[in-house]
Structure 1
Amino acid sequence: MAAPTQHSYRSSGQWTKTVRCCRLPPSCRRMRLTTPPGTGQLSEKELSAALVNGDWTAFDQQTVRMMIRMFDSDRSGTIGFEEFCGLWSFLASWRTLFDQFDADRSGNISLDEFSRALVAFRYRLSDRFIQILFRTYDKRNEGAMSFDLFVQACISLKRMTDVFKKYDEDRDGFITLSFEDFLTEILRQLR
């Protein structure tokens, strides 16, 4: 992780308030260029333009929406500079993990690499379920998952795990819940 440095920002688009953040690479500094004058905020479209995979392909729109939901602390529907610093640090950490599991250095995660990542994250899942999960996020049907989709898959799995744990009071790996509770949890995940 890069050493902390100071950057300045003000919601009017001027860079005046000092915040501690990671040292920002050019793609993060690009926020200055892509932010509409006077707003100091990135919309979903603008954030999408600022985030690219290692092969320069755009992030999946669902991943971009997920990032906004996770880091939009003021619930404005946009990402400000401080929120972007947090997002950038988060993605840098995930990039380190992604690179660690991309054993063949292809720039993508294969099914075997994804399976090894889930084992390293201490998930005990059947091969069948891992294949289903992988295929869900292999949106191009190429047998490979890009960085953004790897992050999306792992975050989605974590969220589903957290919901399950909420109902698994005796921690035996089985839950009983009403149909409406099930639907409520699904709807919460769709937001």
Structure 2
Amino acid sequence: MAEYGRYPSHNYAPSAPPMPDSYSASRPPTEGYAYPPPPTSHSYPYPSPWASGAGGSYFPPGTPPEVIRSFQTVDRDRSGFIDESELQAALSSAYQKFSIRTIRLLMFLFKNPSNPSKMGPVEFAALWGCLGQWQAIFYRFDRDRSGKIDSVELKDALISLGYAVPQSVIQVLVSNYTDSYGRGALSFDNFVECGMIVKGLTEKFKEKDTRYTGSATFSYDDFLMMIIPFIVP
């Protein structure tokens, strides 16, 4: 049987699966990182102070105030939507620098239905929570505390999520992020990008492989529509 992720995606945008209960008691220290530890998941009775400019979309109830502040800080024109440069500024200040390639993938996956080139409060809040979960996974598998995920750590992380990705594919993924010294390793934003690509493509593949055999038949058009959004951000 094919080794698929055990958790469903949400409206095509893949999100990190929940961490096991045992992880919260064994989270490693944060020394050596250029970004803060994963945000806590407190629930705040804090409605958004303003609606988006188009469609009247508010932040979901319980959105942490720091998420709302981050959105407001970069939404300088108060339109209620942010573009890719504004999203990059928000995430880079909260975590670490995000490459524009990763940002464009996130914009595609979490785009606003009424304004596909922008992201609204609902999508931003969903993305923020998703990144917190991916960051927790990153901390867990960066065992040498280098701030990078190597090929062995990446494979272990994906297996923990239910994706038995072949070593040949792992090498292809890591080779895309080789540094100037020829070392293949993933920073946090690279890790998010790889994880979302694997999860997103797996979920799309599962739509065709309804019996979970590990095989599926695609038309040429369907194949291109599935692959291109992930490789041409």
Band the TM-score falls in, shorter-chain normalisation: 0.7 to 0.9
The correspondence for 1:83, drawn from 103, 123, 127, is 123
Contact 2:201 2:227 in 1 (8 A): no
Structure showing greater relative contact order (alpha-carbon pairs closer than 8 Å, 6 or more residues apart): 2
Residue correspondence of structure 1 range 14-163 to structure 2 within 5 A: 19-25=60-66, 29-52=69-92, 56=96, 58-76=97-115, 77-136=117-176, 138=177, 140=179, 142-163=183-204
Unpaired segments ≥5 residues, structure 1: none
Over aligned residues, Cα RMSD in angstroms?
Answer: 2.7
Paired residue total: 184
Structure 1 letter corresponding to 2:200: R
1:20-79 C-alpha deviation (Å, 9 max, x unpaired): 234244x762332221233132111111111128874x2121221222223233331222
Query: Alpha-carbon deviation of 1:86?
Result: 1.7
Aligned residues with identical type, % of pairs: 30
- Give the AA of the match of 1:117: A
Alpha-carbon separation, structure 2, partners of 1:161 and 1:93: 19
Range that drifts further, 176-185 or 97-106:
176-185
8 Å contact kept, 1:54–1:147: no
Deviates more, 1:181-190 or 1:34-43: 181-190
CA contact (8 A) 1:28 1:88 kept: no
Residue 168 (1) aligns with residue 168 (2): no
Shift of 1:109: 0.9
User: 1:22–1:89: 8 Å Cα contact kept in structure 2?
Assistant: no
Cα-to-partner distance string for 1:112-138 (whole Å, 9 max, x where unaligned): 1101111112222322221112223x2
Deviation at 1:154, TM superposition (A): 0.9
Higher strand share: 1
1:4 equivalent in structure 2: 43
DSSP 3-state at the match of 1:42: coil
- Partners of 2:200 and 2:191 lie apart in 1 by 14
Whether the aligned pair in 2 keeps the contact of 1:94 and 1:151 (CA below 8 Å) is yes
| Mean Cα deviation higher: 41-50 or 174-183 | 174-183
Partner SS state of residue 41, structure 1? coil
Amino acid in the other structure paired with 2:113:
D
* Aligned-partner residue type, residue 197 of structure 2: S
- Could you tell me how far 1:186 is from its partner in structure 2? 2.8
CA distance in 1, matches of 2:144, 2:134: 18
